[in-house]
Amino acid sequence: MSISKFNVGRNVTVSLDDYLMTVEIDLRVEGITSASGKSDTVATTGAPQAVASLPDGRPVKMNLSVFAPVKA
């Protein structure tokens, strides 16, 4: 059993333990305000990122955005 941990974007860390994937996001990190000014992006992969392979060898990609409304 091998555990690997790596970053796949801004404030996004993935851990793999064989075929179990865990996504870690620190909600204390200050977000970056979107172009519209309506939301803060707390974590993002930016685009689909290769993160693992299925047991049959097919690649697995992840696309993720975590955001919150801008404080009033």
List pLDDT tens digits, range 2-28. 789 999 999 999 999 999 999 999 999
Is 11 a domain residue? yes
Residue among 35, 46, 43 at smallest CA distance from 68: 43
d(CA 55, CA 5): 19
Q: How far apart are CA 68 and CA 41, in angstroms?
A: 7
Quote the number of domains for the chain: 1
pLDDT in tens, 20-69: 999 999 999 999 999 999 999 999 999 999 999 999 999 999 999 999 99
The pLDDT score that the predictor gives to residue 1 is: 57
Does 58 map to a domain? yes
For residue 71, the model assigns a pLDDT of 86
Please indicate, yes or no, if residue 23 is contained in any of the structural domains.
yes
